[in-house]
C-alpha cells in the first residue's frame, strides 16, 4: 500500500470544510426532525419509512462528526471549538458522553483488536453487540432520554417522538456498529495487517449510504487524521 502521509497532510484539509459539513448535517437533522415531530401521518404512507431512514442516516452523520472531532479534524485550527462541536453532536445523539467516547476511541486505535480494545469483542454478533453497547450506554444517558421524552410528549405525539427521534437513534447505533466496527474488525486478520481491519470493496455511493465511508475502515485506521469526506480519495489511492 502506498504511503499517503504526504498527500493527506493536515495542511491540505480545508480550514473550514469540517465546520461546514458539521453545520450541514446538524441543520438537516434538526430540519427533518422538526418537520416530522408534529406531522400527521398514516402508517400506510411509504414516505414515513423513508423519512425514518433519512433521520437514521442523519443521526449517523452526527456521530461521525463527533468522531472526527475526537480526531481533531472538524476544526483543527481551534481545538476548543473542535471539541465543542463534537460534544454538541453527541448530546444531540441521545445524550452520549463525548469524554467517554473520546477516551475509548483513542484506546481502540491504540490497541485495535486486542484485549485492551474497548470496541472489539470477537464472537457471535449479538454477544459483540451487547458488549459494545454496554461500553457506552450509561444510566445518566438513559435518564436524560426518559426525561426529555416525557417533556416532549407534552407538546408532540408519542408515535412521532418514537418514530423520528428515538427509533432512528437506535437504528443508527446498529448501523454504526455493523459498518464501522463489526464488519471491519470481525474474524482473524493477517499478522502483517498493522491496522487489524479490513475495507469494503470500492463503491463510493454505497460507502456513503452505509456509513459515511467508514466501510473504508483500513484507510481510516491507516490515516485517522482524515475526515470522513476524505476517505474515498484514500481508498482510490490505496488501489492505485
**pLDDT for residue 5:** 45
> Per the domain annotation, does 5 fall within a domain?
no
Weakly modelled stretches of the chain, pLDDT under 70: 1-13, 190-191, 240
**pLDDT for residue 11:** 52
> Per the domain annotation, does 4 fall within a domain?
no
> Per the domain annotation, does 226 fall within a domain?
yes
d(CA 58, CA 206) in angstroms, rounded, equals 16
The 8 Å CB, 24+ separation contacts for 169-175 are: 169/59, 169/93, 169/94, 171/52, 171/53, 171/56, 171/59, 172/56, 172/57, 172/59, 172/60, 172/63, 172/93, 173/133, 174/129, 175/56, 175/57, 175/60, 175/210, 175/211
**pLDDT for residue 1:** 44
> Per the domain annotation, does 173 fall within a domain?
yes
pLDDT per residue as tens digits for the range 197-240: 788 888 999 999 999 999 898 899 888 888 999 999 888 887 76
**pLDDT for residue 240:** 64
**pLDDT for residue 119:** 80
Under a CB-based contact definition with an 8 Å cutoff, are residues 89 and 69 in contact? yes
Number of domains in the chain: 1
Beta strand ranges found along 59-205 (DSSP E): none
**pLDDT for residue 218:** 86
Under a CB-based contact definition with an 8 Å cutoff, are residues 25 and 208 in contact? no
Under a CB-based contact definition with an 8 Å cutoff, are residues 97 and 141 in contact? yes
> Per the domain annotation, does 130 fall within a domain?
yes
**pLDDT for residue 71:** 92
Q: What is the DSSP string of 43-72?
A: TT-HHHHHHHHHHHHHHHHHHHHHHHHHTT
pTM exceeds 0.85 for this model: yes
Q: Residue 150 is part of which domain span?
A: 10-239
Amino acid at each position: 500500500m502506498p504511503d499517503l502521509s504526504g498527500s493527506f497532510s493536515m495542511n491540505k484539509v480545508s480550514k473550514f470544510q469540517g465546520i461546514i459539513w458539521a453545520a450541514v448535517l446538524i441543520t438537516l437533522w434538526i430540519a427533518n426532525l422538526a418537520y416530522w415531530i408534529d406531522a400527521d401521518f398514516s402508517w400506510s404512507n411509504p414516505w414515513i419509512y423513508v423519512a425514518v431512514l433519512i433521520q437514521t442516516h442523519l443521526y449517523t452523520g452526527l456521530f461521525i462528526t463527533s468522531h472526527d472531532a475526537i480526531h481533531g479534524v472538524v476544526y483543527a485550527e481551534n481545538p476548543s471549538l473542535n471539541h465543542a462541536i463534537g460534544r454538541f453532536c453527541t448530546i444531540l445523539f441521545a445524550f452520549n458522553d463525548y469524554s467517554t467516547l473520546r477516551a475509548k476511541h483513542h484506546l481502540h486505535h491504540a490497541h485495535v483488536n486486542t484485549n485492551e480494545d474497548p470496541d472489539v469483542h470477537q464472537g457471535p454478533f449479538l454477544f459483540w453487540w451487547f458488549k459494545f453497547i454496554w461500553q457506552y450506554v450509561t444510566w445518566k444517558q438513559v435518564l436524560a432520554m426518559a426525561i426529555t421524552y416525557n417533556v416532549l410528549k407534552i407538546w408532540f405525539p408519542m408515535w412521532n417522538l418514537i418514530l423520528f427521534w428515538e427509533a432512528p437513534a437506535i437504528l443508527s447505533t446498529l448501523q454504526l456498529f455493523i459498518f464501522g466496527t463489526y464488519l471491519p474488525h470481525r474474524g482473524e486478520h493477517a499478522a502483517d495487517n498493522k491496522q487489524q481491519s479490513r475495507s469494503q470493496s470500492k463503491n463510493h455511493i454505497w460507502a456513503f449510504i452505509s456509513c459515511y465511508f467508514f466501510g473504508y475502515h483500513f484507510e481510516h485506521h491507516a490515516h485517522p487524521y482524515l475526515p470522513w469526506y476524505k476517505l474515498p480519495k484514500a481508498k482510490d489511492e490505496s488501489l492505485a
